[in-house]
Amino acid sequence: MSKKLVKLEVPAPLDVEKIMQEKIPADQFEKVAGEKIFDQKFEGEAIGFFKDAWLRFKRNKSSVVALCIIVFIVFMAIFGPMMSKYHFREQHTEFGTLPPRIPVLEDFGIFDGTQQMELFKADLEMEEFKDAVVSIEREFIWKYKNKEIEKVIANINMYEYTGAEDHYFIFGTDNIGRDLFVRLWRGTRISLLIGFVSVFINVCIGVTYGSVAGYYGGKVDMIMMRITEILGGVPFLVMSILFIMVLGAGIVSFILVLILTGWIGMARMIRAQFYRYKDYEYVMASRTMGAKDRVLIFRHILPNAIGPIITQATFAVPSAIFSESFLSYLGLGIQAPEPSIGVLLAEGQRVLTTSPHLTLFPALIISLLMLAFNMFGNGLRDAFDPRMRGL
């Protein structure tokens, strides 16, 4: 091949302006492809975002179990108090601090309403103990002022002893004879109510605030983020104690306290999502086509964050319930007569050794509830965003 420079013929540049202005009649156009579309037909039905997440969620057995537990507890919190014939304020002062007694299980020796008591041996002959003694654990000699007194540790059927044979308090009663079963579910209802309502409001505030800060950016974002930084610096404990001291402990003030700084985490997350998505081409395309800010925020960008929103809200519920019972422990619990799980726990803690059932059942429910919500949240996170699995 000889080295010969070939002069390429460069076509004259198209005069785009001119072509654009030219009017070409429609019948001069011809379809490149025919009417027939050669793409393969989709087989099976289309799977949407939520269905996809659900399919992935279902595979995670522990999360499904957690969901069932949550559903069960919520169901009991709503209908549980109606199942019992007692009312949550109904007092049976003569049946104070009875241990639990459950109809079928009592035949197997568990939850049969017995309690260990230390008694004088002579007392066993007395009328009220006669039928109530189930078994005698051990006998011992108690020395008091140089006298030797025979004492026994006996299992006493408290229901026989107090004359409550006809009653079945399946979780036992508190010191003024209120049925723990009814009070516990009633308390769960209050705790769940506080949790759900505060989280719902937090999501609303956080989403709006974070969207505005993230979408507009610049000065607006800077000012808004400074505000959250300064507010977020106030420790939750300090703020909640101050507010409850002023407002008094009630459902509304608990919800208010949880809202005051609770939305900040959600706002930050939403803002980060907006920063990630707002420069995508599809957003620009939509803006070029004249979409308003409102449409861009709520129709186009926000739905990207739906997974993290749901996940974060799920994790916020148990922490709200935790905060409520924590404040109850400090003596800032919801005022009587309305119980909450925290109030019941704090009450039970004071009589831990004499009537452990008053601590056992509320502790069990709050632990189950928090465990279930955390596991459910983990499952949701993995389902919505499989990349995050196991982190």
Partner 1 sequence: MLKYILKRVAAMALTLFIILSLSFFAIRLIPGDIAGQGAAPELKAALEARYHLDKPLLEQYVIFLKNFLSFDFGESINLYPRRPVFQIIRDKIPTTLQLNIFSLALTIPIGLACGIAAALKKNTWVDYAISAMVVFNVSIPSFVFATVMQYIFCYKLEWFPFLLELEDSSFSLSKFWSMILPILALSFGGISTITRYMRAELFEALNSEYMLLSKSKGLSKLQSTLRHALRNSFIPLCNVIIPMFMNLLGGSMVVENIFGIPGIGSLTSASIQTSDYYLTIAVLFFYSCISLTSMLLVDLSYGIVDPRIRIGGGKVRE
Those residues with Cβ within 8 angstroms of residue 254's Cβ, 6 or more apart along the chain or in another chain: 194, 198, 244, 324, 327, 334
Q: Is 326 in the site for partner 1 (CB under 8 A)?
A: yes
List the one residue from 116, 135, 335, 349 that touches partner 1 (CB under 8 A). 349
CA-to-CA dists, residue 159 to 109, 131, 134, 162, 322, angstroms: 14, 10, 11, 5, 34
Q: How far is the CB of 352 from partner 1 (least distance, A)?
A: 6
Q: DSSP class of residue 95?
A: G
Only segment of 19-27, 157-165, 185-193, 318-326 that touches partner 1 (CB under 8 A): 318-326
Only segment of 19-27, 104-112, 294-302, 355-363 that touches partner 1 (CB under 8 A): 355-363
Q: Is 353 in the site for partner 1 (CB under 8 A)?
A: yes
Strand, coil or helix: what is 292?
Answer: coil
Q: How far is the CB of 201 from partner 1 (least distance, A)?
A: 20
Q: Could you please report the per-residue DSSP string of 299-338?
A: IIIGGGGHHHHHHHHHHHHHHHHHHHHHHIIIIIPPPTTS
CA-to-CA dists, residue 84 to 80, 93, 176, 313, angstroms: 7, 18, 18, 33
Q: How far is the CB of 349 from partner 1 (least distance, A)?
A: 6
Of 194, 227, 196, the closest CA to residue 209 belongs to 227
Question: Does the CA dihedral 367-370-372-378 come out positive or negative?
Answer: negative
Q: Is 311 in the site for partner 1 (CB under 8 A)?
A: no
Distance CA 136, CA 124 (A): 10
Q: How far is the CB of 345 from partner 1 (least distance, A)?
A: 7
Question: Does the CA dihedral 187-198-319-64 come out positive or negative?
Answer: positive
Q: Is 367 in the site for partner 1 (CB under 8 A)?
A: yes
Angle, CA of 250, 256 and 260, to the nearest 5°: 150
Distance CA 232, CA 242 (A): 16
235 vs 303, beta carbon nearer partner 1 = 235
Only segment of 13-21, 99-107, 179-187, 368-376 that touches partner 1 (CB under 8 A): 368-376
Only segment of 5-13, 88-96, 165-173, 366-374 that touches partner 1 (CB under 8 A): 366-374
Q: Is 370 in the site for partner 1 (CB under 8 A)?
A: yes
List the one residue from 8, 331, 336, 387 that touches partner 1 (CB under 8 A). 331
Those residues with Cβ within 8 angstroms of residue 196's Cβ, 6 or more apart along the chain or in another chain: 317
Only segment of 53-61, 69-77, 158-166, 374-382 that touches partner 1 (CB under 8 A): 374-382
Q: Is 124 in the site for partner 1 (CB under 8 A)?
A: no
Q: Is 285 in the site for partner 1 (CB under 8 A)?
A: no
| Contacts to partner 1 from residues 204-243, by CB under 8 A | 226, 229-231, 233-235, 237-239, 241-243
Count of residues of this chain found to bind partner 1 when the rule CB under 8 A is applied: 44
Those residues with Cβ within 8 angstroms of residue 67's Cβ, 6 or more apart along the chain or in another chain: 372, 376, 379
Residues in contact with partner 1 by CB under 8 A are 226, 229-231, 233-235, 237-239, 241-243, 245-246, 268-269, 272, 275, 318, 322, 325-326, 329-332, 345, 349, 352-353, 356, 359, 363, 366-367, 370-371, 373-375, 378, 390-391
